[in-house]
Structure 1
């Protein structure tokens, strides 16, 4: 059947894609789950990483160094959100909106235009092996190794005293100061790390696809949330290891769903609507089952 054949042909491509975007889903998971800090900055940090990386590569920088600077730019974006929230006592969602809105202009300034091509430029993939760009199997291998290394590094960090402090801030921010844990420090660290991962994902994407665009992060947050929800449904989040695995497994499954939808003839522009409905149903139905009536009824109860 044509639909099945099309889906099977897309599986390896979307699996490689999911491994790249797994870094973004990790970046979404850290503030949402470990810090209990709903953060929207990743939607701006992802294109920031891509734009910074592209601009530096076109300026003649070594691609590895450009990718590292892109990671640092993402860290700075996350810390900016944390500082706005802590210093001005703004809602975390509003702080994230302010930052990723500002980053649109920053990205335009960084690149000097809305998009740039990197087809003839150097990249980390060309430096490792030019064959990577033309081989989906090699892309899966490279991205898979990067994901495993990142997971091991995060697992090690969260098992340390510093990682425990970060988790305490997320579990009980009121208790943290009495334990000698600085709320500001670990909020900055957590959001910085999270958005650094998102920016790192953006840097990888632009080097693989050969162009950068300031609008490349549009809708990314809802995709990441859908991936996270799927991953947590499959592996759970009772332990730190499961919580770290959820973004990777969820991204892999989510992007296969996307492939299936495209194979069935779903228009690409409809994917955002389908994803939003899916996240709403996944997050909303359990709450309705637990709560019963409407919020207005509860107020009058």
Structure 2
């Protein structure tokens, strides 16, 4: 490979990204860099200004002016870091999350339009090539980070993956038998056969082209209630904030389409998931011992008031 070949690829790719960004900016008041900062704030646990500056290689003065603009627009709140008062902690407001979500949605739509021109048979090859470029140029040393994970709608085979991975993981980690696989299969089949796309949704978390997590939001039997189901994060993706992002997506969707409450049923052994639910404001309503999936468990019902204070 020659320097000229790399430069030719850079020209091609930057021209492509420039065209995509131009079409997106027609509908948003933020530049590509500003959108990238909002994305980072929405998806990365690192919320200090210094971390943002380092992560995105931004000039400190430029970043400071950008954050001042965001604060004026009501997108962020700034406060001294709890760990180091010399550092500035930055969090998105509700409006900031909505804006970041809108920009992210438009970006997905634009990339989706680009991918629609690529034959389905060529897409795995494209994904593999992009992954190899990243791996080679980073020398394989950089571990995965939260921003490497994307949330998307399920594609062909993803619903089957949800059943298979739930069965395999819960058997390996908790010793549950095939009764649980049967329950998951029925939940997924019911969704696949009859669901309202405006009121019910599935999210797949993807890392380097492969699924690493999922969650579902479906209508509950109670009027005005939605139910969160089948939250799962693969062991390799834990610690990246994937579960938190999946639950947040479910909560924001349920609130956005007008549900009054979001409920879920889980078991007390699933401590990591319960901590995520608590962070998002879910309240424990009831507990009941039961024997299911071949083991003794304590089932728990949780509820989130979607009309209550937001995060």
Per the shorter chain, which TM-score range?
under 0.3
TM-score under structure 2 length normalisation: 0.23
Pick the structure with more helix per residue: 1
- Rg bigger for which structure? 2
Q: Please identify which structure carries the higher strand content.
A: 2
TM-score (norm 1): 0.23
